Amino acid sequence: MLEICAIASGSNGNCYYVGNEKDAILIDAGISAKQIILRMKERGLNPAKVKAVFVSHEHSDHIRGVRGVNKKLQVPIYLTAKTHNGAYKNLRPDYPKFFIAGEKIEVGNFTIFSFLKNHDASEPCSFRIQYKEKNIGVFTDIGEPCDNVKSHLQKCDGLFLESNYDEKMLWEGRYPYFLKQRVDSEVGHLSNDQAFELLDKHVGKNLQCVFLSHISKENNTPEIASGRMASLFTKFEVKVATRFEASEVYTI
């Protein structure tokens, strides 16, 4: 059994939970340790099961809470050396465990596969977590889907996939032009249309559920993001991760 939950998802903070009967890991800790623990308990998840945190990149909405989690839960923080060096000093974990992008790491009964992706950070990574032949992907902050993303996506039984912005809302919205360009660039974020194409053409036959993640507050809505995926509803479950509370816990 695998349980997955988006503890937080959005530009105000990201944290994704993957757990089995005994162990759990977190991908990113972009909100405070206090909020992570509170939201886990609200969903019936035991913080004591967490054995490690993996950091995808150094942007504050993904790394802001790692020092607190490190201290409160006494768990290691895994990140690349470039991500560590690219982070603000006050956000760096005190005792980091470095991994090399592309390698796999064993934590408890989990195997975590790391891989590089396209994003405007020092060494951005995404992760696929494997347990007993079941695989969970955490794929957010991707400007343009590369072969790494597509390859790991095909193996997933459960998935957190970025569906950050609606193109019409972005280009007609209030963002300054340089920021619109950044979001829409090959090192920015995935649009609803890009997420749809990935789900329509590149997922494997075992995918059960996808949580649309990292949805923009200004340039998207949960309804628009979910509506864009309507033609896929008969293939697998499509759910939406939100900004201010943990999602439901889904069992794979």
Percent of the chain with pLDDT over 70: 100
Antiparallel, parallel or unpaired: β 96-98 and 77-79: parallel
pLDDT in tens, 70-93: 999 999 999 999 999 999 999 999
Determine how many CB atoms are found less than 10 A away from the CB of residue 43. Answer: 15
Residue 217 token pair: 């507050």
* Domain residue limits, the chain: 3-241
pLDDT confidence band for 59 (50 / 70 / 90): very high
pLDDT score at 221: 97
* 171 secondary structure, DSSP code: H
Domain 3-241: which CATH class?
alpha beta
Residue 234 token pair: 């008969």
pLDDT in tens, 138-167: 999 999 999 999 999 999 999 999 999 999
DSSP codes, 7-23:
EE-STT--EEEEE-SS-
Angle at 229 between CA 215 and CA 213, to 5 degrees: 25
Average pLDDT over residues 202-227: 97
